[in-house]
Structure 1
Amino acid sequence: MRARVTGLGAALIVTGGMLAACGGGDSTVSGVPDSETLAPPPGGSAPTSSRVPASEDSGRFTEAPAPVASDASGFDGPAVGARERGYLETLDREGIETGELQDPLVAAGNTICRIRTTGGAAEETTTIADAVAGQIVAGGYTDLEVDQVSRIVVDASAGQLCP
């Protein structure tokens, strides 16, 4: 059972990462480039500071980080407040067992809300909801069909989690 929960969490992270890579429709670039391979701005001159070539040791970040212990403090899961409890209760009422899936379901619901509030395409929310629904059905957490679960997840997210 734990393997199914872990699998669902991993699927949500991968799906969320793919959508994050797609961007939110903002094609602007901010910040200052830190590469001298870029041409200087019109009317400007080349940067005067020289960078240390990668082959030379600058003394910074020369060692790989040590492994993190499994009992180290850190991210435990999404916060479950009143909104999240209402969302999970809605899913339970609709026939989706949420007991072992609280963290991945809340993460998926919050991702759906983030997509909706940042102007993401409807296909993005459908992709997340379909991925979650497929895992819920495959894991035996409901007797409903994937398309029904997907609709329930989107509706519950919009009704309970989204501002």
Structure 2
Amino acid sequence: MTRRAAALGTALVVVGGMLTACGGGDSTVSGVPDSETLAPPPGGAATSQARVPASEDSGRFTEAPAPVDSDSPGYTAPVVGARERGYLAALEAQDIETTELSDSLVAAGNTICRIRTTGGAAGETTTIADAVAGQISVGDYSDRDVDEISRIVVDAAAGQLCP
């Protein structure tokens, strides 16, 4: 049972991080720009603020945030309505246990739909589906191989959750 709980915790962290990374539409690019000034934000004016050289550490964002427990104040699980129940039932029909992973599976399925409807790259949906499929496999929630589980997750999301 501890193995499943650990797999569930890991899946929640992975999906939560992916959901955070996919939100808002204002992404950044890593790397070192040629200029010592920051590029202007979309639709904004240029700034004269000098950027911190790559050799200096600003001290910000040095470690990943800790996982959030489901009983923590402010935690809200994904809403499970008729579409989400249909999605989970479609996964169950493919011999994937969903009971303990329902929050993670619903969050991943909704993220896959959001990527598909906003014109995201197929590789983005594959990354999310592969992460969830790995957690399903490691947690012994299915006897299928990871690639097959990943395909099932994407197909079920497309068929049940996506508009």
TM-score normalised according to structure 2 size:
0.68
Residue type matched to 2:124 in 1?
Answer: E
Identity %: 55
When Rg is computed on C-alpha atoms for both structures, the one with the higher figure is: 1
Q: Which position in structure 2 is the counterpart of 1:5?
A: 8
- C-alpha distance in structure 1 between counterparts of 2:73 and 2:46, whole Å: 33
Given that residues 8 and 135 in structure 2 are in contact (C-alpha distance below 8 angstroms), is that contact kept between their aligned partners in structure 1?
A: no
Aligned 1:28-39 pairs, distance under 5 A: 29-30=41-42, 32=44, 37=49
SS of 1:140's equivalent in the other structure is: coil
One-letter amino acid of the counterpart of residue 37, structure 1: Q
Over 3 Å counting, the alpha-carbon distance change for 1:34 and 1:101 in structure 2 is farther
- Structure 2 letter corresponding to 1:108: A
* Structure 2 residues not aligned, in runs of 5+: 28-39, 51-69
Distance 2:147 2:157 in 1: 15
1:1-163 matches, cutoff 5 A: 1-18=4-21, 23=27, 29-30=41-42, 32=44, 37=49, 73-163=73-163
Contact 1:16 1:128 in 2 (8 A): no
Gaps of 5+ in 1: 39-69
Report the CA distance between 1:5 and its aligned residue.
1.0
| Offset at residue 18 of structure 1 (A) | 4.9
TM-score (norm 1): 0.68
Secondary structure of the equivalent of 1:113?
A: helix
For the aligned residue pairs, the C-alpha RMSD in angstroms reads 3.0
